[in-house]
Homo-oligomer: A and B are copies of this chain.
Amino acid sequence: MSETTSLRGKKRTHTCGELRAKDINEVVTLNGWVDGRRDLGGVIFIDLRDRYGKTQVVFAPQHNENVYQTAKRLRNEDVIAIVGKVERRPDGTENKSLPTGEIEILGDDLVILNEAETPPFPIEDEIETSEDLRLKYRFLDLRRHQMQSNLLTRHKMAQAARKYLDSLNFMEIETPFLMKSTPEGARDYLVPSRIHHGKFYALPQSPQTYKQILMVSGFDRYFQIVKCFRDEDLRADRQPEFTQIDIEMSFVLEEDIYDMAEGLIKALFKEAKGIDIKTPLPRLKYDEAMTKYGSDKPDLRFGLEIHNVTDILKGSQFKVFETGLEAGNLICGINLQKQAGISRKQIDELTDLAKSCGAAGLVYFKVTPEALESPTAKYFSAEQLKGLRESFKAENGDLILIITQPRRQIYPTLGQFRLEVAKKFGLIDESKIALLWVTEFPLFEWSEEERRFAAMHHPFTSPKEEDVATLDQGIEEHKKKKRWTIENPIGNAHARAYDLVLNGNEIAGGSIRIFQPELQQKMFSCLGISEHEAKTKFGFLLDAFKYGAPPHGGIAFGFDRLIMLFTGSKSIRDVIAFPKTSSAMSLMDDAPSEVSREQLMELHLKVI
C-alpha cells in the first residue's frame, strides 16, 4: 500500500539529473523510480531515476532508523519521494559515468507514492526479451533509456523541422483525416459514417490532393508533420500509420525544392547529431543511378560501381555469354578491389549470393600482373581481357565479378549484389553520410499485366518540359495502333520527379506537379484514364484546377525512417511510441478488437 494519495508536501525541488557538487549541503526533495537497491553493511543505497537522470540516495539506520526501515521495503520501479541533504560521496566512490556521480543524498524522509510489481523484463538498455513482450508492456519498454532517447530525438527533429520551415514562411495547415475514398483506394482504411447510412470516409494515404488544393488557394508554402495511413500487407519496416513531413510550394522549379529540402536536412543533422552537412548535395539522374549502381536509391558510402562490358566481351568463345547476347542480354559486373586472394569456398559463396540476387551464375577474374585468372579466361581473347582490365580500372589483386542478364533485370540484380557484397566484405563505412538527389525519374512504368503504362510517381507529376512533345507523339501512336505497346515513345519520357537518398535509403520523394488542365488531360490519355474515370477519381482537384492553379511542386519526408536512421535504430518500431506489429496489431491495447452488435447496428453494418 502506498502511504499517501497526494504528492502535496513531497513535490520534487530538483530532477534526478541536476544535482552537482555545488548543491552540497542543500536539503532537497526528489521524486522518481527506484532503479536499483543495494544493501551494503547495514546501509541501503538506491539509485533514484527519472527522465533526466539518476541520483544515489543513502539510507543509514544510524542517521534515521524509521526511514531506513521503510527503505528496506523498496523494490525496483517503486515510485517514491525522498527528502535529504546533498553530500559529497566519500573519496573513491564517485561515479564518473554519471553526471550526478560526485554527490549522493542522505535520506531523511521517504514516502512510497506507489508500489510496483516486478516488471517482466529489466528496465535496462540491453535486454534479451522478445519484441512482442516489449510491445505488450510498452509502458515499461518506454522507460528504457534508449527508447526515451529515441523519442527525445524525434521530438527535437520535429521541432527543428518546424522552426526551419516557419522561418521560410511556410505555413503548417492541418488537412482532414476523414476524407473521400477513391475507387482506386484499395489500400484506404475506411471509416463508416453513422449519420449517412452506407457511406464511408477514408483515412488519407497522404495529404497529396489537399496540399495541391492549398496551392490553388494561394497559400504558397505549406507544410505539415502528419500521420498517413495505408492498409497494406505489412513488411517488416512499414506501419499502418506513419508520419510524413509533407511540403508543397508554389511558383517554383526543381532547384527551389532542392534548396529548401537541403536546408531542412542540414538543420536536422545539426539538431540531432551536431553534424554540418555540406550543400548543395550531389545529384544523379535516375538512368545513371540505375546503370552505375543498379538502384534508384544508391548507397554511395562505398564504390563497387557497375560496369557494362557487353561491347568488350561480345564475340567470345564463352557459350553462356554468347547465348545471352543473342537474346539481347547485357554483360555487366563490378570490381571487388583487393580480394583476388579469396578462397574457392568464398568464390562459391559469392556465386550463391549472386544467384540469390537473381543472377544465373557468376563469372570471376582474379587480377594478377600477368593475367586475369579464371576458369573461363580461356574463352576470351587477350584483347577482351585487356579491355576488361581497362573498363574496370582493375589493379593487381582485384577481383572482377561479372554476370549476364536481360537489360531490364541485370541492373537491379547487380544493384542488390553490390549491396550484399559490400556488407559481406565490410566495405560500408558506418560513420559516413552519403546524401544525394536522384532526379528525372521515368514518367511511366510499363505494366505487363495490364498492357499499358502506369504513373511511376502519381498522375499529377509533370513530365520534363521537353517530353511534353513525347506525350503528344505517344498519344498519336496509340491512336494509330489502337493499343499501347512497351515501345511507345512515352516509355522514354522523364518526369520532374526526385528522391532524396541517405545511405541507400529513400528518405524523401516528390515532384513538380502538372498545373494545367490541358497537360493533365494528356497525362490521363497516356494512362488510359477516361474523362469519366478522372472525374470520379480526382473530381474536386480537377475542379479546383479550372480556377487558376499556380505552378507548384513538393516533397514528402518519411519521418519515421528518418529518425530510425538518425538514431541508428534497427526498426522504425523503435522510434514510434506505440507502434503496431507487422500484422498491424497493437499488443498493448489489443487493437483491433471485436465491437458490439449495437455499435455495428448503429453503423448499419454486418460482419460476414
User: Which of A52, A148, A240, A590 counts the most B-chain CB atoms under 10 A from its CB?
Assistant: A240
Residues of B within 8 A of A216 (CB): 139
Residues of B within 8 A of A166 (CB): 155, 159
Are B5 and A547 in contact, CB atoms less than 8 angstroms apart?
no
Are B578 and A176 in contact, CB atoms less than 8 angstroms apart?
yes
Partner of A173, one of B5, B159, B251, B577: B577
A contact residues, range: 35 or more
Q: How far is the CA of A367 from the CA of B143 in the complex (A)?
A: 68
Q: A151-B219, A200-B595 are in contact. Are A179 and B586 (CB under 8 A)?
A: yes
- Is A33 among interface residues, defined by CB-CB distance under 8 A? yes
Q: A2-B518, A114-B515 are in contact. Are A241 and B176 (CB under 8 A)?
A: yes
- Is A39 among interface residues, defined by CB-CB distance under 8 A? no
**A144–chain B nearest beta-carbon distance, Å:** 9
Residues of B within 8 A of A51 (CB): 218-220
User: Which of A188, A231, A233, A591 counts the most B-chain CB atoms under 10 A from its CB?
Assistant: A591
**A26–chain B nearest beta-carbon distance, Å:** 19
Are B586 and A176 in contact, CB atoms less than 8 angstroms apart?
yes
Partner of A177, one of B194, B195, B241, B468: B241
- Is A198 among interface residues, defined by CB-CB distance under 8 A? yes
Are A540 and B588 in contact, CB atoms less than 8 angstroms apart?
yes
Are B11 and A591 in contact, CB atoms less than 8 angstroms apart?
no
Residues of B within 8 A of A143 (CB): 217-218
Contact digits for A134-166, partner B, Cβ 8 Å, 1 yes 0 no: 000111101100001001101100110011001
How many identical subunits does the complex contain?
2
Partner of A549, one of B79, B138, B185, B251: B79
- Is A214 among interface residues, defined by CB-CB distance under 8 A? yes
Are A591 and B179 in contact, CB atoms less than 8 angstroms apart?
yes
Q: Which of A585-608 contact B (CB under 8 A)?
A: 585-586, 588-596, 599, 602-608
Q: Which chain B residue shows the least CB distance to A463?
A: B5
Q: Which chain B residue shows the least CB distance to A117?
A: B546
Partner of A548, one of B77, B148, B193, B229: B77
- Is A426 among interface residues, defined by CB-CB distance under 8 A? no
Q: A174-B227, A227-B177, A589-B540 are in contact. Are A199 and B577 (CB under 8 A)?
A: no
Are A589 and B179 in contact, CB atoms less than 8 angstroms apart?
yes
- Is A183 among interface residues, defined by CB-CB distance under 8 A? yes
Residues of B within 8 A of A589 (CB): 179-180, 209, 539-540
- Is A50 among interface residues, defined by CB-CB distance under 8 A? yes
Q: How far is the CA of A582 from the CA of B603 in the complex (A)?
A: 18
User: Which of A197, A219, A518 counts the most B-chain CB atoms under 10 A from its CB?
Assistant: A219
Residues of B within 8 A of A52 (CB): 220
**A161–chain B nearest beta-carbon distance, Å:** 11
Contact digits for A402-438, partner B, Cβ 8 Å, 1 yes 0 no: 0000000000000000000000000000000000000
- Is A352 among interface residues, defined by CB-CB distance under 8 A? no
Are B549 and A178 in contact, CB atoms less than 8 angstroms apart?
no
- Is A113 among interface residues, defined by CB-CB distance under 8 A? yes
Residues of B within 8 A of A174 (CB): 227, 243, 576-577
- Is A525 among interface residues, defined by CB-CB distance under 8 A? no
Are A113 and B151 in contact, CB atoms less than 8 angstroms apart?
no
Residues of B within 8 A of A192 (CB): 190, 192
Q: Which of A184-222 contact B (CB under 8 A)?
A: 185-186, 188-203, 209-210, 213-214, 216-220
Partner of A592, one of B201, B241, B590, B607: B201
Partner of A142, one of B142, B219, B539, B593: B219
- Is A7 among interface residues, defined by CB-CB distance under 8 A? yes
- Is A516 among interface residues, defined by CB-CB distance under 8 A? yes
- Is A181 among interface residues, defined by CB-CB distance under 8 A? yes
Q: How far is the CA of A114 from the CA of B251 in the complex (A)?
A: 12
**A351–chain B nearest beta-carbon distance, Å:** 39
Q: A5-B519, A198-B594, A584-B193 are in contact. Are A251 and B31 (CB under 8 A)?
A: yes
Residues of B within 8 A of A519 (CB): 5
Are A181 and B114 in contact, CB atoms less than 8 angstroms apart?
no
Q: How far is the CA of A203 from the CA of B240 in the complex (A)?
A: 13
Are A200 and B593 in contact, CB atoms less than 8 angstroms apart?
yes
Residues of B within 8 A of A592 (CB): 178, 180, 191, 193, 196, 199-201
Q: A2-B516, A5-B462, A551-B113 are in contact. Are A599 and B186 (CB under 8 A)?
A: yes
User: Which of A152, A163, A196 counts the most B-chain CB atoms under 10 A from its CB?
Assistant: A196
Q: A12-B251, A114-B549, A151-B171 are in contact. List 7 more A-B contacts (CB 8 A).
A: A31-B550, A51-B220, A113-B551, A142-B219, A155-B172, A159-B166, A193-B592
The 9 A-B pairs at the shortest CB distance, nearest first, are namely A116-B548, A142-B217, A199-B592, A180-B591, A7-B551, A193-B592, A139-B544, A180-B589, A198-B607
A interface with B by C-beta (< 8 Å): 1-2, 5-8, 11-12, 31, 33, 49-52, 77-79, 113-117, 119, 137-140, 142-143, 148, 151-152, 154-155, 158-159, 162-163, 166, 171-181, 183, 185-186, 188-203, 209-210, 213-214, 216-220, 227, 229, 231, 233, 240-241, 243, 250-253, 256, 462, 465, 468, 515-516, 518-519, 539-540, 543-544, 546-551, 576-578, 580, 583-586, 588-596, 599, 602-608
